[in-house]
Every structure is written in C-alpha cells, then in structure tokens.
Amino acid sequence: MTTILIGLGEYALSSTAGDCIKTLGLGSCVAVTALHGGSGTVAMAHIVLPDSNSDPTRAKKQPGYFADTAIVAMFEELTKATGGKGRFLIKLIGGASVLRQAPANALMHIGKRNILAAKKALWKRGLGALGEDTGGTVSRSISITVGSDLVNITTNGKIKSTL
C-alpha cells in the first residue's frame, strides 16, 4: 500500500489495491476524482486555474495545472490504464473562497471559476460529477483509496465528511 501525494497542478492514478491518492490544501483549487467501475482504478487531479489560455507554456509542461487541460490529460491516462471501456464515478471537491477579497479583486472568484471550468471540461467528455463538496470558505484536503469509492474530506486536520 502506497500513498501518492499530489501537489498543485498534478494528477495521478493507481489500480493497485490499497494505494491512496491524496492532496492537501484545496482552497480555491479544485480536485477531480475518478473511479473506473470496471477495474477499480482511481485518479485525482489538483487543478489550480480554470483556463490554460492564461499560460499556454505552463499548460504544455504541466497540464494538470488548468481545468481544461487536466481533465483531458487525466482521462487520456485513465483510458490507457483501463482500455477505455466502463463507466467512471466522478467527484468534485474544493473551489472555496478562502481569501478575503478587496472590492477590486471581487471579480476574480477563482474558486467558482475553477468549479465551472472543471464541470465544463467533464461535460465535453460526456461526464458529470455524481458527488460534490464545493464552494464555501474553508480549505479541504482529500484522499481516495483504490478499492473504495469514497473520497475522505478533511478540514483543519479533522474528517469533515466522506463523499
């Protein structure tokens, strides 16, 4: 059993029973998790920004950083790992508004924009989230284990919920 810790703009997948994929500090960032029903393979992406057009060079080097490129890259890997057949159980977590925004920055709303961009990227693939824990004002950390369809969500070091 291995814990795979993913950071900002990273994604990972595993099909090894007992492996745990984990990410910390989802403030305005959004995590997308996917469980492949046929094989039990799980994947997670830690998305930082909504749109790769803001930095195409970074998007090429680190596709997991942006919602539009992270979903494509993660599902390409999942398709290779699973043979492309079967259904996916998708969950969406994060997208909080954790910073006190000055009026001049109120239009930024990165968390909300990340949520919408992740949903849009999923919809383009014909997918949607079957569970969500998004928005609010509190940062989250999450983990998912191969062999389980539950995402564990913690805030302030305490289990908040499972999704």
Pairing of the two strands 42-47 and 88-94: unpaired
d(CA 70, CA 159) in angstroms, rounded, equals 27
pLDDT of residue 101: 57
Q: Where are the alpha helices (DSSP H) in the chain?
A: 56-61, 67-82, 110-124
- What residue spans define the domains of the chain? 3-162
CATH number of 3-162: 3.30.1330.200
Is the distance from CB of 66 to CB of 51 less than 8 angstroms? yes
Per-residue pLDDT for the chain (163 aa), expressed as one digit of tens each? 899 999 999 999 999 999 999 999 999 999 999 999 889 999 999 999 999 999 999 999 999 999 999 999 999 999 999 987 889 999 999 999 887 655 544 557 899 999 999 999 999 999 999 999 999 999 999 999 998 989 999 998 888 888 8
What is the value of pTM for the model shown? 0.93
pLDDT of residue 100: 64
Q: Please, which residues bridge with residue 14 across strands?
A: 42
pLDDT of residue 144: 97
d(CA 93, CA 33) in angstroms, rounded, equals 8
- In this structure, the dihedral spanned by the alpha carbons of residues 132, 35, 50 and 100, taken in order and rounded to 10 degrees, is 40
pLDDT of residue 104: 46
